[in-house]
Structure 1
Amino acid sequence: MIHLRDIGVNLVVAMLLGTAASGEALSVGDKPRIDMHTLGGEILDFQKLAGRITIFEFWATWCGPCIRELPHLKKIHETYKDQGVILISVNRDESEGTATRFITKNKMDWIHVHDPSQKPQYASVWGVRAIPHAFILSPEGEVLWRGHPAGMDQPLSDALKLHPPQIGDRAEDAIDLVTAPRPIVSMQAPGLRIHTNILKGKVRRAQRAHDSHDFYQAYRICNWINDRVSGGDEVQWARDWIGKYESNPSIMEQVGRQRTADEVRRMLSMAKNYESNGRLNEAKKYYEAVLDNYPDTKYTPTAKAALDKLM
């Protein structure tokens, strides 16, 4: 069981429903509706967040460019948190546990949302095709800017001048403005029952993956067990191996490379689907996103060749 106050992280699971259709990118001027719930089941009262500038930043622990942006995000948070600016990071890792450990270890003391890359809900609604990616919303909730967070400083400065926050207290206090508190939920989802044989099978698969040096698959399976089961020998075994993997930089580098490859393959698949359906502009955006965000993978030439054909 995880209690947010115990780890000092406001990790939230949210529903971000935009005015654009699913998969269609939000544009400047759009006004998404935002309903959020904390991992503990508390409801964030966004009426009390009204009047503040909000930054949404999509990222993942396996994304090298995202990690390189972390010092920049910390600086933005520290600089503007008392000026009416709220930072909300949307994590794309498959595992909430992986995200939580990273967030806690790196003292990312702002609001966090989980949106797993294998079952994207929020990124697809907001039209996020590559990470890192950020949005700046006005005090009225309209999109003022979107793009790579490295280029966020000037748009944020402009937003503060042209759309000054209308608040009287510290912006970070709004994080605690919740209504209808509910009990903390178990790590095992309600109604989910995992048979012992399934768990033992998962352990065997993880062990085989580890023995064959496929640390990515082993790490994924261990996180699957850790996130879905609240206790038992298999969970402790998985947690022990997660700790060993995460303390080994070379293994985590391999995990990051393979996760990046998975993300690039997913983006290329989306591009090809759009292309086959005649939606060439959408296909181009995905190919361009691969080239812009993942220029050094073995799939980059494929994306470049496909984009050249469409130009």
Structure 2
Amino acid sequence: MSQGGAIHQLARRLLAPGAMALLMIVGNAGATEETEMVDAPAFHLQKPGGGHIGSADITGKVALLNFWATWCVPCVQEIPHLDRMFGKYQEQGFVIIGVNYQQDEPRIIRFMEKRPVSYPMAMDPDGALSKHFGVRALPVSILIDREGVIVEKLVGTLTVKVLEAWLDRYLAK
């Protein structure tokens, strides 16, 4: 075998697993997971800059927990859309909590100063809540109905179209 052929074969062996992993990640982007209808766990999180927010604050409301990080490009891109949807549906009992995944408070505060939003942000510094919800990639959006039941889960970018469909279904109940 020529040196060029050997290099080509080696490159193929090394790149194939990486390409397969990338396909698995991209192929799952924006995938709605089969949601097991279970009660959402009780939680109590600190807000950047002070204060707390938790499950008691969403009782009787349709709540979206959006797990995100400042380094996650799709997460950052969906924030303005989520903010508009929050403003549009807040009076109907819709709330969003942006749950930052394992970043320090000063970084989150700096980010929020540059990109202010009207919905509350919270911190999950040790990833405990994220782990409880099965978050293994970002962004992840979890919808909890008025009875506190997890009714939808989406891994990847949450589009306005999908969120509106969810809200049409669950705000009416």
Fold shared per TM-score above 0.5: yes
1:123 corresponds to? 130
Task: State the AA in 2 paired with 1:27.
Answer: T
1:97 alignment partner, SS class: helix
Task: State the AA in 2 paired with 1:137.
Answer: I
1:100 corresponds to? 109
Q: Is the 8 A contact 1:136 1:156 kept in 2?
A: no
1:27 corresponds to? 35
Higher relative contact order (CA 8 A, sep 6+): 2
Aligned counterparts of 1:32 and 1:53: Cα–Cα separation in 2: 12
Shift, 1:58, TM fit: 0.5
1:72 alignment partner, SS class: helix
TM-score, length-normalised on structure 2?
A: 0.69
1:109 corresponds to? 118
1:34 alignment partner, SS class: coil
1:98 alignment partner, SS class: helix
Matches within 5 A, 1:28-107: 28-39=36-47, 40=50, 46=56, 49-107=58-116
Shift, 1:141, TM fit: 0.3
**Could you list the runs of 5+ residues in structure 2 that have no partner in the other structure?**
1-32
TM-align CA RMSD: 2.3
| Aligned CA distance change for structure 1 residues 91 and 26 (closer, same or farther; 3 Å) | farther
Aligned counterparts of 2:130 and 2:83: Cα–Cα separation in 1: 22
Aligned counterparts of 1:136 and 1:71: Cα–Cα separation in 2: 18
TM-score, length-normalised on structure 1?
A: 0.40
Aligned counterparts of 2:53 and 2:143: Cα–Cα separation in 1: 22
* Larger relative helix fraction: 1
What whole-Å deviation, never above 9, does each CA across 1:181-205 have from its counterpart, x for those lacking one? Answer: xxxxxxxxxxxxxxxxxxxxxxxxx
2:36 alignment partner, SS class: coil
Deviant stretches of 4+, over 3 Å: 25-28, 37-45
| Aligned CA distance change for structure 1 residues 43 and 84 (closer, same or farther; 3 Å) | closer
Identity of aligned residues (%): 27
Q: Could you say which structure has the larger radius of gyration?
A: 1
Q: Is the 8 A contact 1:62 1:93 kept in 2?
A: no
Shift, 1:93, TM fit: 4.5
Shift, 1:75, TM fit: 1.3
What is the aligned counterpart of 1:144 among 147, 151, 160?
151
